Amino acid sequence: MNPKPLRHVDLFSSAGKLEALYRDLQDPAAVAVVCHPHPLGGGTLHNKVVFRAARGLEAANVATLRFNFRGTGNSAGHHEDGEGEQGDVVAAIDWLIKKHPGKKVIVGGFSFGAWVASRVACEMAAVDAIFLIGTPVNKYDFGYLRSCEKPMLILHGTQDEHGDVQKLETLGQQIRNAETMIITGADHFFTRQLDSVEETLRIWATGIIEG
């Protein structure tokens, strides 16, 4: 793995231009889109969980793309409650596929980003695997995941205030190809547990690539 410098790129969705950060690799084994938490709560592509998840993927030889949803940071448009944002995810996936045709595609996110990303990823044939971090099952309906048969990682903390861990584990058991990883003591933002987030993504992505 020979990482290239992180660089700013522009994506284009129905909202207009979206700002993004892209980490290319010399010869990546796969590519990944990593989506940020709720923008109205301060979520951006610079969120620490998103950053560490991307770094774990990069350690597995995965080129990563992080972007700001519409209306966030310097991205055009306005917040659309997770509906219009799905088009932003599609734009990010399409950009990566054009950049690296034939590579495995991994899509996921943290919190709100996990909800938006997984709805797109379950329906988009080009996506090979999905990850959800800090899945906010207390706020959104994730029932659609039960019919999603793609390999999936669900990473959660026992002290997550936005997702009851028992509810989350039950959901994971109902998803055919889901691997649920619970980090004891971790809150929603994985305070003092970010190393575990990074390492879990590295190990899981390596398995996806080798599988």
Summarised one tens digit per residue, pLDDT across range 75-108 is: 999 999 999 999 999 999 999 999 999 999 999 9
Predicted pLDDT of residue 5? 82
pLDDT of residue 3: 65
Closest-CA residue to 124 (of 161, 87, 163): 87
The one-letter code for the residue type at 8 is: H
Asked whether 188 and 168 are in contact (CB, 8 A), the reply is no
Question: What are the pLDDT digits (tens) for 155-179?
Answer: 999 999 999 999 999 999 999 999 9
The predicted structure's pLDDT at residue 2: 60
Q: Which CATH class is domain 7-210?
A: alpha beta
CB 109 within 8 A of CB 132: yes
pLDDT < 50 stretches in the chain: none
pTM: 0.97
